[in-house]
A and B are shown apart, each in its own frame.
Chain A
Amino acid sequence: MSAINNNCEYISKKQIKIIFDGKTYEAYDGDTIASALLRNNIRLVGRSFKYHRPRGIYTCGIEEPNALVQIISEHNEPNTRATIKRVYDGMEITSQNRWPSLRYDFGAINNILSPIFSAGFYYKTFMGPKGFWKNLYEPLIRRSAGLGKPPKNFRSKSTHQYHNTDVVIIGGGLSGLAAAKKFINTKYKVLLIEQDSYLGGVLKNSNKIKTINGLTPQEWISETEELILNSKNINILKNTLVTTYNFTNHLIALEDKFAGKKIDLNKSELTLHKIRTSNTIIANGHIERFISFRNNDLPGVMLASSFEKYIHRYGVVPEKEPVIFTNNSSSLSLLKTLISLGCKPKAYVDSRKKDNIETEIKKILKDKEIPFFSDAEIEGCDGNKKVETIFIRQGKSFTKLKSSMLCVSGGYNPDIHLFTQSKGLVKWDKNILSFKPDTPFQKTITLGSTSGNYNFKKLCDEINEKLSIFKTKKVSLDINLNVPNKFSIKELWETKKKNNSNWSKSFIDLHNDVTTKDLKQAITEGFDRIEHLKRYTTNSMGTDQGKISSINSLAIVSKMLKKEISEVGTTTYRPPYAPLSFAAIAGRSTYEFYDPERKTSIHSWHLKNNAVFEDVGQWKRPWYFKASENETMHQAVQRESKMLRENAGILDGSTLGKIEIKGRDALEFMNLMYTNAFSKMKPMTSRYAMMLGEDGMIKDDGIICKISDQHFIATTTSSGAPKVLADMEEYLQTEWPHLQVYLNSITEQFSTFNISGPKTREIMMKVFPNIDFSNDAFPFMTFKNFDYKETKIRIMRASFTGELGYEIYIPPKFGLELWEEIFSCGKEYNLIPYGTETMHLLRAEKGYIVIGQETDGTVTPIDLNYNWMIGKNKKDFIGKRSLSRPDTSREDRKQLVGLLPINKKDIIEEGQHIVELNELPKKITNPIKYLGHVSSGYHSPNLNHSIGLAMIRGGKNLLGQKFFVTATGKTKNIPVEIVNPVFIDPENKRLTS
């Protein structure tokens, strides 16, 4: 019993070699993996998900539940459908979910243990003891249940492409082509999308149709395709699968650019088409469904139309003498195909009554002396890793036959997946025993078998009628058929087993190993809603989404519940139609294009000077500078912090957000946006300011420079700049449109350097010899503009370290030059560069807060004891009213305090809890009273012990009291004293002198 080749124009006679599980096989150019394997008489291609049962090729298309393989030669791409993936010379493929080999799989023990693996097994079994799930059950289950292994790391070059069209036709089969023909040379912009690399659909997959308009199907396809290609308004996308039908006629389709070719890593292998269309025509056909019977998963069982498709589309007859099992009239074309090739089916089993079976079928069976069983069904089949014997039940008698293949047809489902994704309503059709599209929700038209029209003779009228909304000419289709005109089907979902055994299985979901028994058990256990039942049994939740079986399961369930199928309803069809690679979705937004990096004008200098970078928003900021190869971060930060307080240090602060506020009403606007009062502030002075939300919580902080009442410059935190600008803009547009204010982001217009330390003044005088930096001429929190070389600079006296400090603003073009100049002048004063970590340490010593570290969206300025920043005399500002809400005026809110270890050697860690216990109990039975948390903790090199900032309940009234801070991995807590959160220079002498 072996496969034979059939002449087929879609397959070239060029022989190529492919490797499957280490062995080399010969295939033809144009084959799919499945057709190549069938050509080589390979039926066993994988192991099932749960029971590790041997599985073969069940279908010939996207609906395949079994034949999933891993493509080694494409960075180990797993879970590839062998039935659609085209081969190329040298392609290397392995089977999945088996160990040590496909034939001898250790996991097959699950099949023997299967009676305990019924529906809900995992939920019921793996309940405890504690820790077993994480350490034992999950790793074990993941090892034995599943699909392929993850792919290797690779860089995809897939791209996205956008389309705007009038009409999209999904499916280039008979209906799709006829519809496209109507649009030839019209004003409509049309996109025809076909999943296969050839147009034609049912015309090339079967011999159902003899002639169209007097032409053979192939001639008609070629003629139509040529007409379409010559028409400038229609584009064809082949090898493209529509996966998603979104709201507002937005479609997503995936194009395989390397179908049947080896991937060129320098080219885009996938294109994700994002399509906006006015109208969508769905003509993506139908999917054949199976019938459940005992061992309906054995390799050798195949859907009848798939068997026929292998013959016509891929030129391979998988078996010369298969048994045909059907409940409908469509299998006639397979019968005719086999006979025309000189093959003779072993038997023809039809569940319909003899009188209902078409005369033509009966005549052929009689003429060719093919064993014919009417009003009969397949009870089951047996065999070792393949179909060997088949049992036919006719009335009360059983017939045993030997055959290696069984072709099954349980009827056809209109492929309504995309239609329901579009939110259209479906309706049960008793004539075809399936759901078909009814009311569209969007501008959606379904044609042909997708719309439930299985009568080829009526297709032409359907197309002309449904497309009459477009200004197009009528098409004519004169179709001559090889199959009966009228589709006839008898309801049959599952056949009865001869003997009841715990090990005999009739599957309803081949992909997830769900049996009809599991459905019954779930219903018995109370899962009688279809959505619950689906999740409990995992029915139709595999990567195939139950394409060949979901309607069958609805029917079986409805019978058990004694309800109509339409009452049971369908589960929700969700995008995507078929799995698509994450690489395609990501497109070019990967690696350096995923999130752009922002670099300051000094970046190259930082690199040269061994900076270690930290990501702040999209910015790259120096975290610390390594003085030597072996210096650790802790050492570097301690060194930088000490050096700065002894001499001077400079920080690249260019990332700080800067917003320019200009206009007639700028002063009023600033008074409304920030807590501080700006009215009495003198021009050319600056002030530390806070911005709240309407809930009274701190959103951002920064220094506000007042140039005049009509002109301010606000700095923001590095990552908060876009949000602050957007918030300002929002209030201007929506609440205060009467204010004449203009906002401009000037973050990138200036490089900013923060230089501070006791030697700063000397360095500044050396860099800018013409500027008077004396305390009287240039006091704290003032700023001035100067000419510097061929540009202008602004210098502000401000500090975030607690030392004497200046901020220099200069256009980035001149930034690096000035930075280097400062270093050459600062060399004799031991000027050092420092990073953000040292900045954080120094500001903590001084008790300055950092937004997002001390604050977390639940902190008001009062909680920080920053009452001085609140313009109490101002009638209104954002969040003012909220500062007197009952919640914000509570005494026991978490408030900012400082922490000092009582034993100076103890280290206070950031994020630890503050508690009243000096030691935690070994086993915690009752909740431990929690007072607050450490928001910042550092070892201060200048004080030579650990310091901390903390948010503690009612902290303001706890100064001088002793509490405890928890420590990582210890039950013994660290005793600490609550102190004022300023550890260095509380009188601000250094700042202001």
Chain B
Amino acid sequence: MILIKCPYCGERDQSEFSNGGEAHVIRPKNPGSLSDKDWGEYVFYRNNPKGIFYERWVHSHGCKKWFNAVRNTSTDQILRVYKVNEKRPDLSDFKNTLKSPSGEPLVGSGNFAVKK
């Protein structure tokens, strides 16, 4: 259970929140004008990176507000939270925080508990 800092309520246990998948996927203004491929990408395609990920959370057992978070998916560290109407933080802000548990490589899920 990680701690998540709701931008409205403050730090709370993860069990109070629900994850809403990738953030900054904007619903097209005029879906009718989109090709099947473009629409299909909006509906079905999401990124799932190992590392820095911009994602949505909702404080579902709290204030019920949606907000965005930047999480390092390989360490589960939440690096930043921001309101929906706030600007997306730049990727370069998190350059130095890119570490993974036990120093494992960014790709693959090795078991490296032992320091080399």
Contact = CB atoms under 8 A, between A and B. Distances in A.
A730 B58 contact: yes
Contacts of A441: 101-102
A570 to B, nearest CB: 5
B85 A566 contact: no
Q: Which 7 residue pairs of A and B lie closest in terms of their CB atoms, listed nearest first?
A: A881-B31, A423-B101, A425-B115, A427-B115, A733-B66, A569-B114, A438-B115
Nearest to B65: A733
A881 B66 contact: no
Contacts of A435: 114
A410 to B, nearest CB: 20
Interface of chain A, main secondary structure? loop
Contacts of A355: none
B113 A566 contact: no
Interface stretch (A246-254, A493-501, A760-768, A839-847): A246-254
A441 B115 CA distance: 12
Interface in B12-53: 20, 26-27, 30-32, 34, 36, 39-40, 42-44
Interface of B: 1-3, 20, 26-27, 30-32, 34, 36, 39-40, 42-44, 56, 58, 60, 64-66, 76, 84-85, 101-103, 111-116
A425 B111 CA distance: 11
A276 B43 contact: no
A729 B27 contact: no
A881 B39 contact: yes
A882 B39 contact: yes
A428 interface: yes
Nearest to A875: B32
B27 A881 contact: no
Contacts of B111: 531, 569, 571-572
A427 B113 CA distance: 9
Interface string A557-574: 000000000100111110
A987 interface: no
Contacts of A424: 102
B1 A734 contact: no
Interface of A: 246-248, 250, 276, 420, 423-428, 435, 438-439, 441, 531, 566, 569-573, 694-695, 726, 729-730, 733-735, 737, 875-876, 880-882, 885-886
Contact of B43 (A694, A726, A730): A694
A726 B31 contact: no
Given A425-B115, A734-B56, A886 B44 contact: no
Contacts of B112: 425, 569
Contacts of B60: 726
Contacts of B3: 248, 276
Contacts of B76: 247
A426 B114 CA distance: 5
24 contacts: A248-B1, A248-B2, A250-B2, A276-B3, A424-B102, A425-B102, A426-B113, A428-B114, A569-B112, A571-B111, A726-B58, A726-B60, A733-B65, A733-B66, A734-B56, A734-B84, A735-B26, A737-B85, A875-B30, A876-B30, A880-B31, A881-B31, A881-B39, A885-B39
Contacts of A734: 56, 66, 84
Contacts of B102: 423-425, 441
B78 to A, nearest CB: 9
A439 B115 contact: yes
B89 to A, nearest CB: 18
Contacts of B2: 247-248, 250
A420 B111 CA distance: 11
Nearest to A736: B27
Nearest to A880: B31
A426 B32 contact: no
A427 B2 CA distance: 27
Contacts of A423: 101-102
Contacts of A886: 36
Given A441-B102, A572-B113, A876-B30, A730 B39 contact: no
A573 B27 contact: no
B10 to A, nearest CB: 13
Contacts of A531: 111
Contact of A876 (B20, B31, B114): B31
A438 B114 CA distance: 9
Contacts of B84: 733-734, 737
Contacts of B114: 425-428, 435, 566, 569-570
A730 B115 contact: no
A571 to B, nearest CB: 8
A428 B64 CA distance: 49
B115 A246 contact: no
Nearest to B58: A730
B20 A730 contact: yes
Contact of B103 (A247, A248, A425, A566): A425
A729 B113 CA distance: 43
A696 to B, nearest CB: 9
A30 to B, nearest CB: 37
Nearest to B67: A733
